[in-house]
Amino acid sequence: MSRYTVLARILPDGQPMTIIGRDAWCLERLLAAGARGCTPIEQPAPRWSHYVWKLRTRHGIVVETIDEGHGGQFAGTHARYVLRSNIEILRDDDQRSAA
């Protein structure tokens, strides 16, 4: 089975980079959210912080983390992730439906 792959670059002059799996999924969620950003509450996934860490450290993509409070039975804080790099998707090999 092929893994979901995105070919992207940081504008204006970044080199193409291949991002795979959940990291690619995370990047696409961040792009779709725009300036509003994403939270694990709104876009459930098992390891958001790790996907963001890999985008930052492996690919040099700037993602801001904003701590937000929330109420409810399990009140506390959660992260909102906002993409700050200007990213261009060059190719999206969406093979999730092939599984």
Q: Is pLDDT at 99 greater than 70 in this prediction?
A: no
Structure tokens at 6: 């995105």
> pTM of whole model > 0.75?
yes
Which residue, among 24, 50, 22, 52, has the nearest Cα to 37 in the 3D structure? 52
Q: How far apart are CA 56 and CA 73, in angstroms?
A: 33
Q: What domain range includes position 29?
A: 5-98
32 three-class SS: helix
> Strands, E, within 11-62: which ranges?
17-20
Please report the pLDDT score of residue 3 as a whole number. 83
Q: Which residues have CB under 8 Å from 37's CB, separation 6+?
A: 30, 64, 66, 80, 81, 82, 83
Q: How many domains in the chain?
A: 1
42-57 pLDDT, tens digit per residue, is: 888 889 999 999 999 9
Q: What is the pLDDT of residues 12-66, one digit of tens each?
A: 999 999 999 999 999 999 999 999 999 988 888 889 999 999 999 999 999 999 9
